[in-house]
Each structure stands twice: as C-alpha cells, then as structure tokens.
Amino acid sequence: PTLLPPALSLPLFVCRSSGEEKSSLQDLKWRSQRFTRIEATMGSDAEARELLKEAEKAVNKKNMFFKKSPDWEKAAQCYQKAGEMFRAPPVKAMPDAVAAFEKAAAAHASNQAHFYAAQMMENAGNILRDLKNPLAAGQHYEKASSHFLDAGKADKGAELLIKAGKAVAEEDVTVAVKRYRRGMKLYEEDDQHIFIGDTWRHCLALLLKNDRKEEAVGLLTDMFDTFERLDQADYLHKAQLSVIILHLSRGDSVAAAAARDSFADFVMCEEGGAACDLIDAVEDG
C-alpha cells in the first residue's frame, strides 16, 4: 500500500471582536447599506443593454480634434454594472453577463487598473464554472491570475492559478498539474510557503489517481525544501518514505535504495527504518 504524507496541519487563526454587541441602530444601518448595494446591482434587461451602449460610446469617444480618446474608466464602470445586472435576478442572462464582465476586464486593463480587471475575469470564470463549462472557467481564472500579477498581487495571482487548476482537474490533468505547480511556485517566490499545504496535497492526489508516479516523485522531492523551511521534520520524513514507496511500486528497488541513501539522517528516523525493511523485503523477493 502507498503511504502518503498527510496534509499540512495549518493553524487556524480566528479574529474576534472585543465582545461588544452591535447596537440595534448600527445593525439596521448595516442592513440598510447591504440592501442598497444589492438593489444597486438589480435592474432590467433593457437597463443593462443601455449601459452597454453607454460603454460603447465611452470606448469610441473622440476629442476635439476628432481623434479617438476612449474614456476607459467610464466604459469599465458601465460594462461592470451591466454584467452585475445580467447576472442578478430578475434578468439572469448569464452568457451576456460573461461577455459584459470580459469587456469590463479589458477596459480596466486598458486603464491600467489590473486589480479590477482581475476581479472581472474571476466573475466571468465563476459564472462559466456554474454553467458547467470548466475549461472556459479555468482559462478565465488564469487570465485573472495574470492581471493580479500585473497589479503586484502575487498571492492573489497564485490563488487564481490554483483555482484554474482545480477547475479542470477532471477534464485535463496535465493542464491542472501545470497550474497547480505554477501557483505553488508563485507562493514560494513570494516566501509564502505555508500556503502551499492544501495545493501540493490536491496535486499529489490527482497524480496518483491518474497513475503518474514519476511526476508524483518529482512533486514530493520539490516539497522537501518547503518542509525544511517550515521546520516540518515529520512531513519531510513521510514525504521521503513516500518517494521510496513510489519507486518500489514501479518495480525499481535500485532507485528506492539510491533515494534512501541520499536523504541525510533519514535511516535514523522511524520512516527510514520502515524504508529499509521495505527495500530489503523487495530485494529478497
């Protein structure tokens, strides 16, 4: 049986208030603001299409010399509002919402507002995901990731790449793994190794499910540095044992023994002893 390292056990920090209850007046104010925001996104199909026309006028705006001088900020706002109206009841015209959010993203990007462009692409991706179009959803999440990176938000860029990987995990394993690995790399480059925990576990499970053992060995080997940085000796030893078991499961006891010997002080721990016993048992037949 293949022994896999458990997921990283990350502490959960919950921020709590000072314990003071909000007054009924504050609560009513909050509810009023919330409903105002909700109502602001609701409108008719006709209103949404009028906003699209306003957006097109802003895109094709000309200056006093009759040269094209787009008002990207206004265009982005109109496209975004139209997308919200198309998405919300009573309209719920989801393909139109996707198209409006895509145009809003392009307008925001043209205005160098890449953070908002990323949010619009993520909105479009979420709709496509709900419409059971995972490949298109993944493409939109990947574009959102690029915009977040352009905005200097490496953590959000990594998060959206991983989300793009999850979207297509059942459809295209190769693409999913590449996105997972790229997202993990972004976290590493941003010195946020602690956020890799769930992702490497999902990626490993996907590889093993599809019998891609060589790639699984590569993933586990790459994780050694992360476990060392996080001072997670137990996880490091379990990952090393898993590498040896994967080699043995492929019928390669030579590679298993070489891996064991390359792991410093590994034979001194419990997992190292188990690895030695397994290799000996395989070699003895």
Report the pLDDT value the prediction gives residue 6, as an integer from 0 to 100.
Answer: 41
Between CA 75 and CA 80 the distance in angstroms is 8
Report the pLDDT value the prediction gives residue 42, as an integer from 0 to 100.
Answer: 66
- DSSP letters along 79-134, please? HHHHHHHHHSTTT--HHHHHHHHHHHHHHHHHTT-HHHHHHHHHHHHHHHHHTT-H
Report the pLDDT value the prediction gives residue 41, as an integer from 0 to 100.
Answer: 58
Report the pLDDT value the prediction gives residue 285, as an integer from 0 to 100.
Answer: 72
> 142-179 pLDDT, tens per residue?
999 999 999 999 999 999 999 999 999 999 999 999 99
Q: Cα–Cα distances in Å, from 198 out to 94, 100, 114, 183?
A: 31, 33, 27, 12
Report the pLDDT value the prediction gives residue 154, as an integer from 0 to 100.
Answer: 96
Would residue 92 be called left, alpha or beta, if left means φ above 0 and alpha means ψ between -120 and 50 degrees? left
Residues in the chain predicted with pLDDT less than 70, given as ranges, are 1-42, 64-66
Report the pLDDT value the prediction gives residue 12, as an integer from 0 to 100.
Answer: 28
Amino acid at 277: D
Predicted TM-score (pTM) of the model is: 0.81
> 3-17 pLDDT, tens per residue?
444 433 322 222 333
Sign of the torsion angle spanned by Cα atoms 233, 236, 240, 242: positive
Report the pLDDT value the prediction gives residue 31, as an integer from 0 to 100.
Answer: 46
